[in-house]
Chain A
């Protein structure tokens, strides 16, 4: 229910039984009676021949005792009383021009109908006696402007005043010379105050510092509650018969009337959003469910409490945030906790903050909430690993498998098992291929130091391809068994023949590897699976196995073998190779079924491997690199790219490569790993990247007079318009070597100086320094 008036409203007030309301503003002064469904105008007080400023009110108040008496405060400092019972058209009764400045508030005594108090900008409060038609007494606020005065409803002689400097004062009517109590309530002006209707010792104040404060004033004033609002508060009014509820309206920006429960100061209990401009007055209708409000948008509303918006209902019950260390804070309502308790993988620290809700007696449901802080235990969330990896990775200077090994060890030591594993796989895939570009490669393959890997890899590929998974599963028991056995054979075979031992142990190693992997839940070491398994899935599997360790026994063994591999006679191998083409099939067949891998068939794996058409895996590697890059680990991608170089058959898109490199370099520079960044640039096969450190390789020398960098030439300063380093002997610019004395800073052409100092001791400039030339 509302009515529209022609001008902005500055203040409203209701009569004793709240059946009528007076609405006042600069250009409006009317009385409405409140009917069931409408406001009906009863009279217009702004009538007369000359409507001067006395008819414009900054504040208005209705006498709480006499129903026909009104008082208004004009902006020009006049206090005007109005008598509705006056028979004439103009109801204006008395005008007091006592104040020098604007009167901010007028207030009738709650029981004494003839006492009117005013507070003004000029720093005075005056008590008018309407019977005597004069000022009864004057209270001085020590030249601070008074923003609000209110009689205490419980105590006949007491009233309170709010000041522009933020102070609140309590006065006794009988002592006009000095206040009773004074305390600073707000920083910045206090705009309004209101006595609690029931509790004698409570008073609420609000001001420009965007807070509503509730004070207990019985002895020493004590702050009980603070409500933070979003804008300066213009008015506050307690809600009748609700001890903890107070309504407020803002001076600007916020157009709502908010009702707060002072025990929950963060979110309004209810808010009324009807007005389109700032609300200037609130009056409760002696009823906690109905109130009136007037606003600058020229409307008066009667609000019913049931129409209120409850902001709390719309509030989000969960809050979450993280800090820089990766710790996670989570606050949630306990109601939600009952629904489902989910835990994350990280450990929950025993930080439970249980904010206990205050006792609620009225409409509040018991609410409590918890705050939890999860602290990340995973140390690797820090970026130490990145720096470690960057510094310890080797990217060049050795064979591919050495590099892979090294890097795998680095990654492993930093608990980056997935990355370590990747390196090992790459070692398998690329380790031997260095010198085998085309099929008839037996000789060269075996001749190369990496032959073991090549064999192992290729043969395993075939094996895995041809064997069903079932076979391998069957192998579980066996492979653990062979584990030890193979070690034996590995040892013994060294004595037998270098070729044999090589092939055999390498195969047995693959057995170990694949077998163990199978034990660890379907993970296959090697490449065959790359075809049957989705790559990321296998990676994920591996992730989950926290303490999965690679068959560490295999690694040292392999190294031993490699050492011995350097010696074999290539010719010997060459003779072997043609014969074993057929057997290779057998061997691969037999491999799965055989209870024990014999040295014999292992040996035959070599020729098979070399003859088998190469399996195309590089697109898988590409996928893998992309996967890493997608995961944000460009480090691995870039390092692999560098190490593999052009061995990748299906190279990663140029653009993508460049992006990775750039991203990695950016990271490196962020960590100030300039040296490594430069190494990466140098090793990059990508043209755009490689040319990075070849740009702006110029270092400008500075002018020796104005310190400006010499950009144009090394001997001419643009600024000084001078030659910079002239030779002290010939006075021509020195363009090449400039020899200078460290004692006197003079110098010149090397030749000239040498000549000069052959015959002279002193500096050629005549500075008197005895220069030394050695």
Chain B
């Protein structure tokens, strides 16, 4: 009988993949009970979790070794390793012990981890400190922030996503924006909408893959599985339904050269057997634009992978690399306005802004046009010349035609064929909003709110200076991003862009917008020296929104043209 059991077990073990790249839904849901506003149910859930872990680690009944004592005549049976399961959950546990807005969960999870360590388990350690590579942990809004509004938003985000994402924590600098951001994201991913839930997350994966953003891909892989999505889809684009594949062309174009999108693309989608309805297209377009823009933010702020992601934690004991990490973060203290040259930079900028308001002479129209073209072509010089990263295979499976990338709008082949997009002819406030709201109710209002918050957000500060009217500076950034996508605001003097945005800032903005995957810490440290981290995050938020709006404008215009 012994041998039968043994055989059975061996077979069973052989049957299970040794390193499971995908966790099954049960394992993903293991901690979900923690996500509750009610403290009682949280503590109940914590109890269950600790009990289950206990059982796994120590086995059930008498100590495990007893088996082998009693049956020493059959020494072939090896101790069963129940630990992979526990091991699989440890990163989650670690995550909850650090990034959870609830104090009780944090402390209990921390205690559990210590407990497990005492019992001889290897405990993982997070890679990197804090949510962002660029911003030292102690300057980020802490999870237990004193600011009530922010804290509430963190709790909301935690309940929505079952985790406090690093993105959210970084955005915590700007609670006003975070609020509308969370509302919108919740609505497009989990609210009422024409697309099925698994589609939404899969589209998010495809969109993020275009910018090789493994952070977002991993997040949405998890969500995709939790929505009951089919595991085979995650193997890559070859395993998904044709309907989703059809969308890929648009995803590709929008990611890099949105001006190429035309009504033919929409027509292709809406024709045929398994076609898309207009409402579905609308929903998909919004998800695509949202996640393309999110990629920029993730890279722009150097978001660390979540702890439970593959490279978010390590089981190696802390070594030199860790201290190096520490070292570098403390070394480049870009946030401190100590360096005089940084302070001077701000002074100069403020001076220039003042000048701008005072100058009376108006440039001629020709000059304006020339300036737009100058800004447009100048951005050419700011080529982020860093070597292109070769994407990993795990991402590559969601990418088709990986060589397709951003090409400067000014360099586009046929200038006549693709004219400059005139913001006055198709604006978000007028046409965009109405169309979006028509096809996908309420989204217009949410996006409108989000755009406006991002555009109008200001604390009247600049580095250490207060009471500064930053509107011209903000507008310059916003329009510069639109300019890179060939969107021209007739009523804007593009000379201001060159006047106000220094070279490093422009290069940073361009890199983050067009080649987000190439952003390095150096870029981040170099731009806007002397500004606070929160202000740099603010710039990134504007980047996110301006990019999203640009993509949406192009795609909505295509949609309108298709409809007329």
**B-contacting residues of A (Cβ < 8 Å)?**
8, 26, 50, 52-54, 56, 58, 74-77, 97, 99-102, 121, 164, 188-189, 191, 208, 210, 231-232, 251-253, 255, 276-278, 704-708, 712-713, 716, 718-724, 726, 728, 730-733, 746, 764-766
Contact = CB atoms under 8 A, between A and B. Distances in A.
B368 A53 contact: yes
Contacts of B61: 726, 728, 731, 746, 765
B560 A252 contact: yes
Interface string B344-374: 0000000000000000001011101100000
Contact of B62 (A253, A721, A733, A765): A765
Contact of B564 (A276, A718, A764): A276
Contacts of A100: 491
A709 B445 CA distance: 46
B5 A52 contact: no
A255 B70 CA distance: 87
Interface in B440-481: 445, 448
Nearest to A53: B365
A189 B491 contact: no
A277 B564 contact: yes
B5 A53 contact: no
A308 B71 CA distance: 97
Contacts of A75: 422, 424, 490-491
B235 to A, nearest CB: 22
Contact of B365 (A8, A54, A58, A764): A54
In the A-B complex, the 4 residue pairs with the closest CB atoms: A52-B365, A75-B490, A232-B434, A75-B424
A278 B561 CA distance: 11
A719 B560 CA distance: 52
30 contacts: A8-B425, A26-B424, A26-B425, A50-B365, A52-B365, A52-B368, A53-B365, A53-B490, A56-B490, A75-B422, A76-B368, A97-B362, A164-B429, A232-B430, A253-B434, A255-B564, A278-B564, A705-B82, A707-B52, A708-B26, A721-B80, A721-B81, A722-B59, A723-B5, A726-B61, A731-B62, A731-B67, A731-B70, A732-B2, A746-B61
Interface of B: 1-2, 5, 8-9, 12-13, 15-16, 26, 52, 55-56, 59-62, 66-67, 70-71, 80-82, 84-85, 362, 364-366, 368-369, 422, 424-425, 429-431, 433-435, 438, 445, 448, 490-491, 560, 563-564
Nearest to B27: A719
A99 B15 CA distance: 74
A121 B423 CA distance: 13
Nearest to A51: B365
A101 B430 contact: no
B82 A713 contact: no
Contact of A716 (B12, B425, B491): B12
Given A231-B438, A252-B434, A253-B435, A76 B491 contact: yes
B146 to A, nearest CB: 32
The winner among A97, A252, A716, A726 for most chain B CB atoms within 10 A is A252
Given A208-B433, A252-B435, A706-B56, A102 B424 contact: yes
Contacts of A705: 52, 55-56, 60, 82
A233 to B, nearest CB: 10
A746 B61 CA distance: 7
A255 B1 CA distance: 82
A731 B422 contact: no
A716 B431 CA distance: 62
Contact of B12 (A164, A718, A726, A766): A718
A52 B362 contact: no
A251 B563 CA distance: 13
A305 B365 CA distance: 43
A721 B438 CA distance: 54
A724 B55 CA distance: 11
Nearest to A231: B434
A704 B12 CA distance: 18
A746 B80 CA distance: 21
B15 to A, nearest CB: 8
Given A75-B491, A191-B430, A765-B61, A52 B369 contact: yes
A208 B434 contact: yes
Contact of A76 (B365, B429, B430, B431): B365
Nearest to B425: A26
B26 A706 contact: yes
Contacts of A121: 491
Contacts of B67: 726, 731
Contacts of A53: 365, 368-369, 490
Contacts of B424: 26, 58, 75, 102
B85 A719 contact: yes
B13 A721 contact: yes
Nearest to B431: A252
B479 to A, nearest CB: 12
A56 B2 CA distance: 91
